[in-house]
Structures are given as C-alpha cells and as structure tokens.
Amino acid sequence: MPTIAIRSAWIFSLSSPPIANAWLVAKDGLIEFIGRELPERFQTVPRWELPNTALLPGLINAHCHLEFSDMTAPIEFTGSFITWIQSVVRHRSSANPTDLEAQRQKAIEQGIRESYLQGTRVLLDTITAPWSPSWIPAPGSLMKEAIGDIPPIVSDALIGDAEWYLLPIPEVLDINPSRGEATRKFAQEVHEQIDALSLTDDAIGASGCLIKRVAVSPHSPYTASLELFRACCDASHECGALVAPHLAESQEEIAWLSSRAEPIESALAPFRDSAFGLRKASIEEYLDAVLHSAKGIIAHANYLDDILLSKISQRSPLVAIAHCPRTYRHFHPDSSSQNYPMAERLRNHVSHVLGTDSRASNPDLSIWREMQTLLRYPGLTGNQILEMGTRSSAELLGLDSLGSLEVGKRSLCTAILLAEPLAEHDLSRSLLADENRAFPLEILMSRAWQQIV
Ligand SMILES: [Zn+2]
C-alpha cells in the first residue's frame, strides 16, 4: 500500500490544537497518523519535509458561480444592486449562441482550475443552463496539469480518488412561466444526470470529481415565488437535499419585498408575468420556507433582523449563512467590511460558511483570501475563521471524511506557505497573515520533490 510521511512546520487539524513540527502519514488517500513523533512502523516509508508550511484541511467554497470565471475584473457597483444584476445578466447573454456552450465550459474549467491552484478542495457551484457533467475535469487531470509528472507515491498515497470535488446546484426561478418551465426542466435534468453517475468514492459520495447529492438554488425572492421556495424546501425536507438560495442580499430586495419599491419593481417589469407580481410574501415567510429544508445554505443574508437570525440559529449547523467577504466589500464600498456583524452573529450561534460568489463581484476565487479578509473583521478569532473555511461546511453537507485532519479521514490538505514563522501567542491569526499563500499540498510537495531530485 502506497504510504508517505510528511513533516510540516505546523498542522492545524481543526479537531485538536495546532501541532508544531508534526508528521502526517497518508496511505491510499487516508490519514494514518498525525503527531509529533513518527512511530516506528512508519520509519521506512518515503518522507517529505516542508519546513515553511502549515497544513490545513482542504478549504471549502460554499457559494460560487463558476460560469462567470472568465471575467477579468468585477462589474462595477454604482450604488444600485439591481443595476449591477442587470449588468451581470447582460454579460451572460452577450455570448454568441453558437459558442455559448464552449464558452461556458471554458469559464467553468477556468474557475475550477483557479480554485484548485489556490488550495480550494470543494466547490459548491450554483449552475444555470447550459451545463454538463462531462465538462467537469477528470480526477487527477488538474493535478497533472499543475505538476506535470507526479511522483506516483504522491498521487496514490496522498490524493486517493480525486484531488478536488464539486457539488452542482442548479438554479430555479419562476419570474415568468417560460423561465419557470425552463429552469425546472434544467434542474430535473441535472439531478437525473447526477443520479445516473456511479459512485467511485464512497467516503465522499462522489463520482469522479462530482459530489453525488441533490441540491437546488431557488434564486432569490425577486425572481422566485414563495411557492417555488416552499416546493424546493418541502422536497428537501423529504429527501435531504441541500437548498441554497440568495436571501436578504440587498436593502433594495428588502424594500421591494415589503412595498414593491423601486428600483427593483421597474427592473423586473419587462421579465415578470402579472401573476408573479401579485404574489406578495414577506422575507420571514421566505426564510421560514428555507428553515424547513433538511440542509440550507443562505447566500449573504446581510439584512436580517435579530428575530430572523435567531430562527436561523435554531437550525444551526444544518442551516447556515454563506458570507462572501470581498463580495460584501464590493457592495459596501463606503462602509468598511467591519460593518458585517460576523462576531455578534457567531456569538448568537448563527452558523456561517464562506463563499467567494463569482468573479462578477470578486477579483478571484480564493477562499483563502476570503479568510484573510475576515481577519479585518472585529472580534473574530483565527479559529473561527479557519472553521468557517473548512469544518463548518463539511459538517453541514455531511462530508464526514473532509473538514478536519484526523486518522481515517481523507488526506486532502491545503498547504499554507509561510512567509515567516508563526507567532506562538496567536497561531491562527498569524497563519492568516496576508503574506501567507495557499496551495494544494501536492503542489508544494512536488516542488520539494523537484528540489530533492
Ligand atoms: Zn451568489
């Protein structure tokens, strides 16, 4: 059985305190040992020493839209959220219909590649048509592309079945009957395609790099009716699916829900049918629907009051808010990012996971950079930030073999290249310093390998 031992300056397992100069032994993609002294039985296995490196569980991006990954810069926010959304929709529809599929596939591949190279191991991707499971790169291919000839011991012992995973979340909306019909059909087709895949990875529940789970994203209250939200969430309650809507993202959305206020009211007019316009529901009714689902990830939830937040806390950790720090900053340029009350919300037991959102609002897709951004939020501990980028998402999704580094779990590590030794008095915050960069562990090992050779 292929086995390797890796010594790193630090291991942050997320299940016990960080260990300095620690060994991680991996065999067939699973962790065999973590600790300070390498046991006698592993003394003869190949060893790697990574002195300027800290190991973390693989990072998880709990909210993104890879279809926009070909954008070179975020779309400017000029003060109106719905105006920004209209620009995003224009970008999506600007593609030439004859090469839409090729362009979409390229953007998704680009987003996956970029995410992997920055140390992200799991992506929850909100998808729209066209989309195909055949577009998702095969296990090992990104690793080979990045490293070239991989020492077989690295791929066999450390990586196992796949070096990253993706959960596709089809978006549904019913702003008018034809969009309702088309998106419902799309979601059904995606679920059938995913269902038809045969499992290759029992521990993750994945087929190749695709996580074989049912998930759906009713887009948002201004494009999806309460009835559609309830239908998705009732189905989730029955079958355990993940429901991942956008909710309370902007004050414009809150104002439109309560009084059909501008500018959303006029912006929707050309697209919605009259029946959609008449179906009024409150933010609380939308939230109650999501809270009925088996698992929920609510993207943004920036503008919920304490009563609604306390409802979310009662479903913790199976319903969480996906916060996207740099996207939040994109839409709040005048106030500092410190205005998102993350510490207070965590203190009140409102679970949070982290996402990047898309390159329409973010300069890149690095979850590590999102975690580093959180360092500027007041009152957060480094450990809270590390958990939101790893363990919290894994627990919510029931990905039991990911989220922390423990014997028997997968050895898919994100490696942090340390610019300086960590400050012993505040290890986690020191780990998150701006100069420290995240990679898949195998890439740093490959560099170490090449240096040794
Ligand atoms: Zn989003």
98 CA to centre of ligand 1 in angstroms: 26
335 CA to centre of ligand 1 in angstroms: 21
Q: What is the mean pLDDT of the chain?
A: 94
Average pLDDT over residues 300-321: 97
pLDDT surpassing 50 at residue 453: no
Kindly write down the DSSP assignment for every residue of 269-309, as one continuous string.
Answer: TTT--HHHHH----HHHHHHHHHTSSEEEEEE-TT--HHHH
82 CA to centre of ligand 1 in angstroms: 13
pLDDT, residue 120, reads 98
Convert the pLDDT of each residue in 386-399 to its tens digit.
999 999 999 999 99
Among the listed ranges 118-122, 224-228, 337-341, 426-430, which one has the minimum average pLDDT value? 337-341
CB 371 within 8 A of CB 390: no
CB 229 within 8 A of CB 290: yes
23 CA to centre of ligand 1 in angstroms: 38
Convert the pLDDT of each residue in 246-289 to its tens digit.
999 999 999 999 999 999 999 998 888 888 877 889 999 999 99
Cβ < 5 A residues, ion ligand 1: 299, 357
Task: Tell me how far apart the alpha carbons of residues 50 and 28 are, in angstroms, rounded to a whole number.
Answer: 20
Domain 58-397: state its class. alpha beta
pLDDT, residue 441, reads 96
Q: How would residue 93 be classed by pLDDT, with cut points 50, 70 and 90?
A: confident
357 CA to centre of ligand 1 in angstroms: 5
Convert the pLDDT of each residue in 199-223 to its tens digit.
998 889 999 999 999 999 999 999 9
Residues, the chain, total? 453
DSSP tag of 423: P
Residue carrying structure tokens 């600790």: 35
Q: How would residue 450 be classed by pLDDT, with cut points 50, 70 and 90?
A: low
Q: How would residue 334 be classed by pLDDT, with cut points 50, 70 and 90?
A: confident
pLDDT surpassing 90 at residue 101: yes
299 CA to centre of ligand 1 in angstroms: 6
Average pLDDT over residues 393-409: 97
279 CA to centre of ligand 1 in angstroms: 23
27 CA to centre of ligand 1 in angstroms: 37
210 CA to centre of ligand 1 in angstroms: 20
Residue carrying structure tokens 């304490």: 306
355 CA to centre of ligand 1 in angstroms: 9
pLDDT, residue 451, reads 53
63 CA to centre of ligand 1 in angstroms: 6
Average pLDDT over residues 400-423: 97
Domain boundaries, the chain: 3-55+410-452, 58-397
pLDDT, residue 279, reads 83
Percent of the chain at pLDDT exceeding 70: 98
CB 6 within 8 A of CB 26: yes
HSE of 6, CA atoms in CB hemisphere, 13 A? 30
pLDDT surpassing 90 at residue 91: no
- Residues sharing a CB contact under 8 Å with residue 201, sequence separation 6 or more, in sequence order: 160, 161, 162, 207
Domain 3-55+410-452: state its class. mainly beta
Convert the pLDDT of each residue in 27-77 to its tens digit.
999 999 999 999 999 999 999 999 999 999 999 999 999 999 999 999 999
pLDDT, residue 213, reads 95
pLDDT, residue 338, reads 52
Task: Tell me how far apart the alpha carbons of residues 320 and 318 are, in angstroms, rounded to a whole number.
Answer: 6
CB 91 within 8 A of CB 68: yes
401 CA to centre of ligand 1 in angstroms: 27
β-bridge mates for residue 59, sequence order: 120
CB 368 within 8 A of CB 118: yes
Q: How would residue 440 be classed by pLDDT, with cut points 50, 70 and 90?
A: very high
125 CA to centre of ligand 1 in angstroms: 9
pLDDT, residue 414, reads 98
247 CA to centre of ligand 1 in angstroms: 10
pLDDT, residue 412, reads 97
pLDDT, residue 203, reads 86
